[in-house]
């Protein structure tokens, strides 16, 4: 049963589609593939064994150790890339199209008459053409000056340049030089103002007090102790003041009289029963008197107009008052001429006062420049003075003990120079309080359990 051949079905081969579908052309494809291979590589029967085979001696060279890593790397570098090898012809069959079309350049596509006209007026160029040539030269110069990737040729922030002569750059401003160089194909950057301006006048590392030395002089050590004592006294005064205006202001009330004092304090200003009754009677009497007065004094008002005589007199009085004010002004002008010396003294006194105020403002600004700015809600607190008592001084560096933390000192210096905002360092995180409750369907009634 297995040796039985498959039966061929009769199909129509009327159209090209059905012919390609049902005709087996594998033997023809195999024959043509062999032919193409022979065209590419040639007929193997015609070649000799020496042409087909080569004796390989690479194993001996590797064993002897003549080739090295350097040699193999050089061979790999000199080896042809696969991307270029794919562009080469892989068959011996010549190209059937010997002469192929070539795309002409822009200059070749120009009409010969126009090309002839351009050649005649080669030296006479239009303004647009001159600008094009100038831009071409500038672009070429910019491309030559452009550094490669990762290469740094010059400092872009440098304001000096060799393109302009020194006599010109001496009187020109930095913006003027940058504007002029820009048209020569060189771009210069403007230095940011944030880099020019320092955040604080204070130095990065301040000189320590001479009294903090491990072997200080007697006077320097005493000055340091005096400064530390003054700071401590000021701190004690501040604490005493806060204690006086807060804790000591309030009296201590015993527990048994606390409720009595509370009732008395809350009922302060409220009227008693007797006072309330007298106040009611007095208010009623006062209201009755006001009503009687109101009814008696409400007389009808008559709308009387001013007569012509009254209006004329009013006009004359107004004119006279205006004339009087003008006369007074003229008199004041005459009197001011004789007051020039007094006015001069007043001006000088005012200018002197303004100069004193200006000097005060300058001093205040100098003080503020040293003090740290308010960069956050936390106030800057400097480190305590590093000092040692006379008994703790060792006199040599070997027995000296460190009392300050270098990292903390540098961090405080950054805060003082307005480079880092002061903040309270928290080592633990605050967790939100989670409300816990039992769902109604999860509640367990212990009475029901006992009954069961």
Segment 9-18, tens digit of pLDDT: 788 888 988 8
- 3-class DSSP state for residue 257? coil
Is residue 408 assigned to a domain?
A: no
pLDDT of residue 1: 46
Is residue 254 assigned to a domain?
A: no
pLDDT of residue 227: 94
Q: Which of 67, 85, 103 is the last residue of a domain?
A: 85
Segment 49-73, tens digit of pLDDT: 888 888 877 655 444 455 788 889 8
Residue 344's domain comprises 316-371
Is residue 422 assigned to a domain?
A: no
Q: Is the pLDDT of residue 345 over 70?
A: yes
Radius of gyration of the chain (CA): 54
CA-wise closest residue to 401 among 225, 129, 255, 212 = 212
Q: Under 8 Å CB-to-CB from 295, ≥6 apart: which residues?
A: none
**CA 52 – CA 55 distance, rounded (Å):** 11
Q: How many domains does the chain have?
A: 3
Length of the chain: 452
**CA 175 – CA 191 distance, rounded (Å):** 11
Asked if residues 39 and 91 have their Cβ atoms less than 8 Å apart, the reply is yes
pLDDT of residue 7: 65
Q: Under 8 Å CB-to-CB from 200, ≥6 apart: which residues?
A: 369, 372, 416, 417, 418, 419
Q: Is the pLDDT of residue 159 over 60?
A: no
Q: Is 386 left (phi over 0), alpha (psi -120 to 50) or beta?
A: beta
Q: Is the pLDDT of residue 231 over 70?
A: yes
Q: Which of 196, 229, 254 is the last residue of a domain?
A: 196
Q: Which of 154, 172, 196 is the last residue of a domain?
A: 196
Tokens of 18: 């059905």
Residue 450 burial (C-beta neighbours within 10 Å; 0-12, 13-18, 19+): exposed
Is residue 365 assigned to a domain?
A: yes
* Per-residue pLDDT band at 449 (split at 50, 70, 90): low
Is residue 402 assigned to a domain?
A: no
Query: Worst-scoring range by mean pLDDT, 95-109, 183-197, 297-311?
Result: 183-197
Query: Worst-scoring range by mean pLDDT, 275-279, 369-373, 408-412?
Result: 275-279
- Is the same domain home to 76 and 132? no
* Per-residue pLDDT band at 5 (split at 50, 70, 90): low
Q: Is the pLDDT of residue 154 over 70?
A: no
Q: Is the pLDDT of residue 183 over 50?
A: yes
Is residue 364 assigned to a domain?
A: yes
* Per-residue pLDDT band at 297 (split at 50, 70, 90): low
Q: What is the DSSP letter of 42?
A: -
Segment 367-395, tens digit of pLDDT: 988 899 999 999 999 998 888 888 888 88
Is residue 184 assigned to a domain?
A: yes
CA–CA–CA angle 209, 215, 220 (5° rounding) = 40
Is residue 61 assigned to a domain?
A: yes
């Amino acid at each position: 049963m297995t040796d039985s051949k498959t039966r061929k079905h009769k199909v129509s081969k009327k159209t090209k589609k059905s012919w390609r579908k049902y005709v087996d052309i594998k033997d023809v494809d195999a024959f043509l593939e062999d032919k193409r291979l022979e065209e590419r590589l040639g007929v193997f029967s015609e070649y000799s064994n020496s042409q087909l085979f080569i004796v390989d001696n690479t194993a001996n060279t590797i064993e002897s150790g003549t080739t090295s890593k350097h040699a193999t790397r050089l061979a790999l570098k000199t080896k042809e890339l696969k991307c270029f090898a794919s562009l080469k012809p892989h068959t011996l069959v010549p190209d059937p199209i010997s002469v192929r079309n070539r795309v002409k350049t822009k200059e070749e596509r120009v009409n010969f008459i126009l090309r002839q006209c351009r050649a005649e007026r080669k030296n006479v160029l239009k303004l647009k053409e001159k600008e094009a040539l100038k831009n071409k030269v500038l672009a070429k110069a910019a491309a030559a000056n452009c550094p490669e990737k990762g290469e740094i040729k010059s400092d872009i922030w440098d304001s000096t340049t060799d393109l302009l002569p020194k006599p010109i750059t001496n009187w020109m401003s930095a913006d003027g030089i940058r504007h002029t160089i820009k048209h020569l194909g060189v771009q210069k950057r403007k230095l940011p103002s944030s880099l020019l301006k320092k955040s604080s006048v204070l130095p990065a590392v301040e000189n320590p007090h001479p009294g903090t030395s491990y072997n200080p002089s007697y006077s320097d050590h005493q000055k340091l102790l005096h400064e530390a004592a003054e700071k401590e006294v000021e701190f004690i005064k501040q604490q005493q003041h806060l204690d006086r205006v807060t804790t000591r202001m309030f009296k201590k009330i015993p527990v048994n009289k606390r409720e009595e004092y509370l009732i008395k304090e809350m009922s302060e200003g409220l009227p008693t029963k007797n006072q309330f009754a007298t106040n009611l009677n007095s208010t009623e009497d006062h209201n009755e008197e006001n009503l009687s007065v109101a009814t008696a004094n409400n007389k009808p008002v008559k709308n009387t107009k001013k007569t012509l005589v009254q209006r004329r007199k009013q006009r004359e009085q107004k004119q006279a008052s205006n004339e009087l004010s003008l006369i007074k002004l003229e008199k004041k002008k005459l009197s001011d001429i004789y007051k020039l010396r007094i006015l001069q003294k007043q001006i000088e006194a005012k200018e002197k006062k303004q100069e004193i105020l200006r000097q005060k403002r300058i001093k205040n600004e100098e003080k503020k420049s040293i003090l740290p700015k308010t960069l956050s809600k936390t106030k800057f607190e400097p480190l305590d003075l590093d000092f040692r008592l006379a008994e703790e001084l060792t006199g040599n560096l070997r027995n000296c003990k460190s009392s300050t933390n270098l990292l903390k000192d540098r961090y405080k210096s950054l805060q003082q120079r307005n480079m880092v905002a002061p903040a309270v360092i928290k080592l633990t995180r605050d967790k939100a309080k989670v409300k816990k409750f039992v769902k109604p369907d999860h509640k367990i009634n212990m009475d029901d359990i006992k009954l069961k």
